[in-house]
Structure 1
Amino acid sequence: MTVLKQLLGIGVLFAASLSLADSSPSSQLPDLGDVTASRYSAQQEYDLGRMWLKMFRSSAKTIDDPLMQDYIESLLYRLASNSELKDRRLETVVVNNATINAFAVPGGVIGVHSGLFLNTDNESQLAGVLAHEIAHISQRHFTRSLDNSAQSTIPTLAGLLAGIVLAATAGADAGIAAITATQAAALDSQLRFSRQNEQEADRLGMETLSKAGMDPNGIPAMFENMGKNLRYARSKPPEFLLTHPLTESRISDSKNRARQYTRNVYVDNLNFQLMKMRATLFHSSNPEDLLKNWTAHTGSNGEAYRYGVVIALIKLKRWEEAEDKLSELLNNDINRIAYRIAQADILIGKKEYDSAIEILKKQLVITPNNHPYTMKLAEALEGANRFQEADLLLSKQSQSRPNDPHLWYELAEIRGLAGNIFGVHHARAEYFILVGQFDRAKQQLRYAHERTGNHHIEQSRIRQRLKDIADMEETLEQL
């Protein structure tokens, strides 16, 4: 069995660890050994994680919302900078799934189900989940588990990958059941070490929250939310949940640890509440009902609910009403990104493209290279038939975000409208690489090569990219 295949198996084993694994309260944490002592290098973990992400994207639906992506990335980097993580080359994927789940994969890949926004009450709870996953990566629990179980049978890649993809597409129960089918033989021998890892990740996650100026109680509060979710489940939990329960002892232990930190007053981040509104609207099949409920809301988080009313009206294409409701928010907070994006959405909806372009360009002067503003500006430029400008804008953005498949997809569309056919093939090739469709990527590169003429530099770049794909395919064959 190859190194990468073993690593990938262990990585997926921990994918749902936050919500599934058990830990026992203890005043003295176990010594899990030297974090750096492993048969596998950090670079091997990094390469594995990026290959795994390509495979995952080819199977699971993701959310292409620059605002939500930007929020998650900003929160992750804030947490990572206050953690023990040394290699902070993180990659984030927001999964289109309403269930409570997050996962970490070796090499700095962190996945977040959009359902986390629906089932968390404040930013500290969401941050607690992410801090826990960062701890798994910083402590290299994946490869250390592999070292610890060197004599055990490691689950097959196909079964484990199918399990995590099922968890992202068909729901957590189906995914966990699929994972269980492939790892049942190895589960018992690895359970004890997994519990120790969970205990360590809980502790380090709280430390990260505290150092980042966030509430360590976010972790036990999130555990309680998960416990309620399990209690209210209609069907019997799958076998994997029965062997890895979220016990009262783990919740109690996390509460006791949280009490050890200095008590402070924590003010929730409004941006979290705004993203919660976006996620709720995204998963709603009836925006009219949401609009009615949000309009009638008189409780806490009033500003977030007013924003919810605005984006629901935008969803319903009721531009004038949305503009009227948004004006109050802008008067009080004119430079908040979510509000300015909503303003641009309204102007684009009304086909007032030049006004949207003017506003977005001014905001990019204030916050240069801001990703949500850049993507929205490209949309406005496209609406105004200013395709070459949009091409230049997104081409520049792709240099700072070369691993963003949504950006490459939009860039390919813009280049097609701009008549940049060579650029279309290049952008499509990069998109297909990032979503693990290597045959289609090679086809696009061959099309691009046919259009290079005597441009030897471009020909050389294409040959190198084809070689890169061949190397990826060889690695994939070894998995």
Structure 2
Amino acid sequence: MKPFRHTLAGSLIAALLVFFISIPPAAALSVSEERKMAQEFMEMVGQQMALIHDPMALDLVSLIGRRIVDQLPPQPFDYTFHIVDSDQFNAFAGPGANIFVNRGLITGLDNSDELAGIIGHECAHAACRHISQMLDRSKLVSIGTLAGVLAGVLVGVAGGGDAAQAVVLGSVASGQTSMLAYSRENEEEADQKGVKYIRDASFSPRGLLTGLEKIRASDWYGTDAIPAYLKTHPGSKDRILYLEAWLQDHANEAVTNNGIDPFRFNLVKYRLAGLYGQVDTTEAMLSKMLKKDPDDAAIHYGLALVLVRKSLLDQALSHLGQALTLRLFDPFVLVEMGRVYLLKGEPEKALAVLEGLDTVADVRSSLLFYRGSARLDLGMLDKAKSDLLRLVDADPDLFPRVYYNLADISGQEHEVGLSHYYLGFYYHTIKEERNALFHFEKSLGAMDDPDRIERAKALISELKKKNKAPSSRGSSTSLSVLQSGLVKP
């Protein structure tokens, strides 16, 4: 994960200053004003690469979130769900009903009911417009204090640690720590409504209780390092007592099955640990767990992902094979096996395990990328192009390398303009804007597709305006490489 840059606090403060100065002091925060703040907030989060764009994990979080949102009354915002690449035990609702769950929270929970409990509570905060109330209340303090507090929270979300704490403590030196937290009344209302939303979505409200208990238990450092969730969601002891009483009063309404396969939750949990957790710590943890439960396919799967990061590909394949014997024909395991075979330079084996998965919607994006890549390596250009173009249509930002592969195919087919066009998208996606500008400009003189030409012109204009970049000179990818088709990242 890339940490937030040291300039983030300053840039966020500047943006918030402009925004809040425009709001009349006596006015409440309107829906349109909160929507504007939400857009700026999300742009800053996205620019710093703090979010995890993993289709398998996001699909599960979004599935749970959508089921809960379906129980809400009509809302002024479209709810979105995001996973933050931080090992902190935290979740929060941002402006405009953007719900964030930290990777560390998911890997610290035991089942989908607990995850639904936390997400449901955050959805209740958004539905009650507690964020708007908190932001409106915060106008009673100085703009500088408000901006500093929000900057500190945002840095903390990205795992900023000491930097975040320094920003926050400096901002609240005057004693106005309430700007970091919902009021206890807000928490009570979110619990009261949240447990109903959770129950109506067929999740067990007990998950919120056990989830909160795990969050409290995570405070092993003492009061100087209280988990971020407890800083922004006060009164957790009283909340636990309230939830225990509520569950007793509603014991006859208990949910026995939420319809989500427990294996799927565990697969996501160990996937996030395996792909994004600290390598040595995660390997040691999963290896220890596997000794206690050698027949847990999800642990084998997570350990395989860690081993891939250590380039121990044969060991990774061994664990994926064991997972597959325990979960026959599981599509998630098969897709990862195909990825490892590609990394080993064995596209034939990759293609063999990936064929036949088209009907499994949950793995479609990953399947199209890895199968298309295998077909490209095997010289099956038409089929590779079909897979990769389908992926671009369905999920254009998920795998930046898809554009490199399409540029490779175009180069081999002597479509030089199209190669530049796709390379422009590749560099644009990975935020290397000067290279993106170079390739988009080069594509204009060598393409005859009017739609692509217009798209390239629009992106050139956007890039120049955004970066105030001069006309590009030179690039990391030469024309001779494009013509030969040897385009490699």
TM range (shorter): 0.7 to 0.9
Work out the CA distance in 2 between the residues paired with 1:368 and 1:53.
Answer: 26
Structure 1 partner of 2:95: 106
Structure 1 partner of 2:221: 233
Retained in 1: the 8 A contact 2:351–2:375? yes
* Structure 1 residue 391 displacement after superposition: 5.3
Paired AA for residue 256 in structure 1: A
User: 2:271 matched to 1:271?
Assistant: no
Show CA shifts across 1:244-277 (max 9, x none).
7444212212322333431243476221111222
Retained in 1: the 8 A contact 2:218–2:227? no
Structure 2 partner of 1:163: 152
Structure 1 partner of 2:131: 142
Work out the CA distance in 2 between the residues paired with 1:158 and 1:248.
Answer: 30
Structure 2 partner of 1:122: 111
Retained in 2: the 8 A contact 1:317–1:349? no
* Structure 1 residue 202 displacement after superposition: 2.0
- Give matches, 1:447-458, under 5 Å: 447-453=439-445, 457-458=451-452
Change (3 A) 1:368 1:326: closer
* Structure 1 residue 104 displacement after superposition: 2.2
User: 2:396 matched to 1:413?
Assistant: no
Structure 2 partner of 1:298: 293
* Structure 1 residue 163 displacement after superposition: 1.4
Structure 1 partner of 2:279: 285
Structure 2 partner of 1:5: 16
Structure 2 partner of 1:222: 211
Change (3 A) 1:472 1:222: farther
Change (3 A) 1:375 1:205: farther
* TM-score of the two chains, using structure 2 as the length reference: 0.72
Show CA shifts across 1:169-194 (max 9, x none).
44556535523433565946768973
* Structure 1 residue 425 displacement after superposition: 0.9
Moved more, 321-330 or 97-106: 321-330
Retained in 2: the 8 A contact 1:125–1:218? yes
Retained in 1: the 8 A contact 2:35–2:96? yes
Work out the CA distance in 1 between the residues paired with 2:168 and 2:176.
Answer: 10
Paired AA for residue 30 in structure 2: Y
Show CA shifts across 1:60-110 (max 9, x none).
544453332333233322332333464674444322221101232223423
- Give matches, 1:71-86, under 5 Å: 71-84=60-73, 86=75
Change (3 A) 1:198 1:121: same
Structure 1 SS opposite 2:92: strand
Change (3 A) 1:431 1:351: closer
Unaligned runs of 5+ in 1: 10-36, 433-439, 474-479
> Which entry has the higher C-alpha Rg, 1 or 2?
2
User: 2:58 matched to 1:69?
Assistant: yes
Moved more, 66-75 or 457-466: 457-466
* Structure 1 residue 451 displacement after superposition: 2.4
Paired AA for residue 348 in structure 2: D
Work out the CA distance in 2 between the residues paired with 1:365 and 1:238.
Answer: 46
Work out the CA distance in 2 between the residues paired with 1:239 and 1:79.
Answer: 25
- Give matches, 1:298-377, under 5 Å: 298=293, 302-311=296-305, 314=308, 323=317, 326-327=320-321, 329-330=323-324, 333-367=327-361, 370-377=364-371
Moved more, 458-467 or 161-170: 458-467
Paired AA for residue 152 in structure 2: G
* Structure 1 residue 126 displacement after superposition: 1.6
Structure 2 SS opposite 1:363: coil
Structure 2 SS opposite 1:110: strand
Structure 2 partner of 1:21: none
Structure 2 SS opposite 1:364: coil
Change (3 A) 1:189 1:374: same
Paired AA for residue 336 in structure 1: D
Structure 2 SS opposite 1:104: strand
Structure 2 SS opposite 1:82: coil
Identity of aligned residues (%): 22
* Structure 1 residue 218 displacement after superposition: 1.4
State the Cα RMSD in Å.
4.2
User: 2:199 matched to 1:199?
Assistant: no
Moved more, 261-270 or 100-109: 261-270
Paired AA for residue 436 in structure 2: Q
Retained in 1: the 8 A contact 2:290–2:299? yes
Change (3 A) 1:87 1:427: farther
Structure 2 partner of 1:258: 247
Work out the CA distance in 1 between the residues paired with 2:358 and 2:163.
Answer: 44
* Structure 1 residue 426 displacement after superposition: 3.2
Work out the CA distance in 1 between the residues paired with 2:465 and 2:127.
Answer: 27
Work out the CA distance in 1 between the residues paired with 2:106 and 2:284.
Answer: 19
* Structure 1 residue 115 displacement after superposition: 0.6
Higher relative contact order (CA 8 A, sep 6+): 1
Retained in 1: the 8 A contact 2:155–2:163? yes
Work out the CA distance in 2 between the residues paired with 1:291 and 1:192.
Answer: 35
Structure 1 SS opposite 2:100: strand
Paired AA for residue 342 in structure 2: I
Retained in 2: the 8 A contact 1:101–1:115? yes
Show CA shifts across 1:103-133 (max 9, x none).
3222342322211123212221122222222
Work out the CA distance in 2 between the residues paired with 1:88 and 1:333.
Answer: 40
Moved more, 83-92 or 412-421: 83-92
Change (3 A) 1:471 1:148: farther
Structure 2 partner of 1:31: none
Structure 2 partner of 1:13: none
Structure 1 SS opposite 2:96: coil
* Structure 1 residue 233 displacement after superposition: 0.9
